[in-house]
Amino acid sequence: MRAEYDLAKLKGQRNPYAKALKKQVTIRLGMDVIDYFKSMADKVGVPYQSLINIYLRDCAEHHRKLEWAA
pLDDT digits (tens, 9 = 90+) for 24-60: 899 999 999 999 999 999 999 999 999 999 999 999 9
Handedness of CA 21, 23, 29, 32 (dihedral sign): positive
| Phi/psi-derived region of residue 13, left when phi > 0, alpha when psi is between -120 and 50, beta in every other case | beta
The verdict on pTM exceeding 0.95 is no
Closest to 27 in 3D by CA, of 54, 46, 53: 53
